[in-house]
Amino acid sequence: TGESSRASRLLRPGPLLPVPTVLLGQSPVSGQSPPSPLSSCDCELENLLPPGLSACLDHIHNLSLEYEPSKKPSRRTATELLTALASRAPRLRGLRLECRGEKPLFDAGRDILGALHTVCGAAHQLRHLDLRHLPYTVDDTLVLKVAGGCPELRSLFLDNHALVNSVQPASVLRLLEACPHLRALGLHLASMSRAALELLAAPHRAPFTLLALKCACPEDARASPLPDEAWATLTCYHPGLKVELELEPVLPDEAVSRILQPAVPVAVLRLNLSGDTVGPVRFAARHYAETLRALEVRASASTELHTALEELAARCAGLREIHCFCVVRPSVLDAFRAHCPRLRSYTLKLKREPHPWRPTLMR
Task: Give residue 59's pLDDT.
Answer: 80
Task: Give residue 170's pLDDT.
Answer: 98
List CB contacts of 150: < 8 A, sequence separation 6 or more.
120, 123, 124, 126, 129, 179
Cis peptide leading into 69, omega within 30 of 0?
Answer: no
Dihedral over Cα of 295, 300, 304, 310: its sign? positive
Task: Give residue 103's pLDDT.
Answer: 85
Contact between 162 and 200 under an 8 Å Cβ cutoff? The reply is no
Q: How many CB atoms lie within 10 A of CB 316?
A: 23
Nearest to 235 by CA among 215, 263, 259: 263
Task: Give residue 54's pLDDT.
Answer: 67
Distances in Å between the Cα of 297 and the Cα atoms of 252, 288, 305, 308 are 16, 15, 10, 12
Contact between 209 and 182 under an 8 Å Cβ cutoff? The reply is no
pLDDT along the chain (363 residues), means of 10: 41 41 45 29 40 72 92 90 84 93 87 95 95 95 97 97 93 98 97 97 94 96 94 96 97 96 98 97 98 98 98 98 98 98 97 93 87
Pairing, β 321-324 against β 155-157: unpaired
The pTM of the full predicted model, rounded to 2 decimals, is: 0.86
Task: Give residue 338's pLDDT.
Answer: 97
Task: Give residue 21's pLDDT.
Answer: 55
List CB contacts of 69: < 8 A, sequence separation 6 or more.
75, 99, 101, 102, 103, 104, 107, 109, 112, 135
Task: Give residue 255's pLDDT.
Answer: 96
Element (H, E) at 219: helix 218-221
